[in-house]
Amino acid sequence: MDAFAVRTVGLIKRYGRLLALDALDLAVPAGSVFGFLGPNGAGKSTTIRLLLGMARPTAGYARIFGTDAQDVRVTHRSLAYVPADVALWPQLTGAETLELLGRTGPGVDRGYRDELVERFALDVSKPGRTYSTGNRQKVALVAAFATRAPLLVFDEPTSGLDPLMEREFQHAVAQARERGQTVFLSSHQLAEVESVCDRVAILRAGKLVEVADVANLRRLHRSQVEVTFAGTAPQLDGVPGVEAVERVGPTRLRFTLTGPPAPALRGLATADVTALTIHEPTLEEIFLDYYDEVSR
């Protein structure tokens, strides 16, 4: 099997004059949990439609475990998908829906499915028409997580879930990872991406602005450092990575730090530092930084 669960090369999608995806190159290693972030209209759903073979690329290609995404008879044997707006059959109960979905997908772990029904507190005896948005989402999530599909594709999967259920979702993603499944997770929920994903791609106006490990992404970005000292202030002029040095009191200063902290620590060692706090950026701050940069 291909080492990449998802691979796109020069993937372009135009809708008339609108360039929805602009030469997207993505490589999602099998077994990883991959976050796909972007503001409204960035092209996330378009990408997912192309991955599922529900739309044709204008140029370039997308592959699922090495098979062209347009070859849906093959690719859908190895993937399960939960859309942003889940529609269910109004006349079927949750249990009947799970059965139906189980028969069309790549195979189901029934024991695990029953466990998930409990964990997601889903009443599967009710007909689909009576389910709320969140409950419809839960049915689709349970159906997808219970499959043995090596690739799970989620488009904004927790938008209708309450915080408790979001936790269950995150737990189920962790279990999928333990089983070696790959998870492709499109999301607005930065905290969710931060807590479950290994890697994250940031998309804006159809273009990738970054692909990085979640941990590296933090390291590459600015941290806020605050230093308290006794006596003379530390000498930080011209220290690599140190910017925006600001005195915030007679014995305190603040600065931003990018990259490795060693030069800044050497600079700080020139003074009698009595306290030091480093605030690492949240994914949200990093995300906003990217938007600022690109829109500037």
Ligand X SMILES: Nc1ncnc2c1ncn2[C@@H]1O[C@H](COP(=O)(O)OP(=O)(O)OP(=O)(O)O)[C@@H](O)[C@H]1O
Query: Quick check: 18 binds ligand X (CB under 6 A)?
Result: yes
Residue 264 and residue 276 in contact, taking contact as beta carbons nearer than 8 Å: no
Count of beta carbons in the 10 Å neighbourhood of residue 125: 9
Distance of CA 25 to CAs 44, 55, 226, Å? 13, 17, 39
CB of 29 vs ligand X, minimal distance in Å: 23
> Scanning residues 153 to 182, which ones bind ligand X (CB under 6 A)?
none
Closer to ligand X by Cβ: residue 38 or 267? 38
Distance CA 239, CA 147 (A): 53
Query: Quick check: 89 binds ligand X (CB under 6 A)?
Result: no
Query: Quick check: 15 binds ligand X (CB under 6 A)?
Result: yes
Query: Nearest CA to 1 among 180, 185, 238, 236?
Result: 180
The dihedral sign for the CA sequence 102, 55, 48, 132: negative
The tokens 């590296």 sit on which residue?
A: 216
Burial per residue of 83-118, b for 16 or more beta-carbon CB atoms within 10 angstroms, e otherwise = beebebeeebbbebbbbebbeebeebeeebbebbbe
Segment lying near ligand X (by CB under 6 A), choices 24-32, 44-52, 213-221, 270-278: 44-52
Distance CA 136, CA 123 (A): 11
Segment lying near ligand X (by CB under 6 A), choices 12-20, 218-226, 264-272, 276-284: 12-20
Closer to ligand X by Cβ: residue 177 or 204? 204
Q: Which of 35, 38, 94, 105 binds ligand X (CB under 6 A)?
A: 38
Query: Quick check: 200 binds ligand X (CB under 6 A)?
Result: no
Expressed in angstroms, the distance from the first to the final Cα of the chain is 43
Closer to ligand X by Cβ: residue 9 or 205? 205
CB of 23 vs ligand X, minimal distance in Å: 15
Query: Quick check: 42 binds ligand X (CB under 6 A)?
Result: yes
| Three-class secondary structure of residue 122 per DSSP | coil
Query: Quick check: 17 binds ligand X (CB under 6 A)?
Result: no
Segment lying near ligand X (by CB under 6 A), choices 13-21, 74-82, 241-249, 277-285: 13-21
> Scanning residues 180 to 199, which ones bind ligand X (CB under 6 A)?
none
Query: Nearest CA to 276 among 293, 255, 246, 250?
Result: 255
Query: Quick check: 45 binds ligand X (CB under 6 A)?
Result: yes
Closer to ligand X by Cβ: residue 7 or 13? 13
Query: Quick check: 20 binds ligand X (CB under 6 A)?
Result: yes
Q: Which of 4, 8, 26, 43 binds ligand X (CB under 6 A)?
A: 43
CB of 13 vs ligand X, minimal distance in Å: 8
Segment lying near ligand X (by CB under 6 A), choices 42-50, 67-75, 167-175, 210-218: 42-50
Question: What is the DSSP-derived secondary structure letter of residue 250?
Answer: T
Query: How many degrees, rounded to 5, is the angle at CA 17 between CA 14 and CA 23?
Result: 35
Residues that bind ligand X (CB under 6 A): 15, 18, 20, 38, 40-46
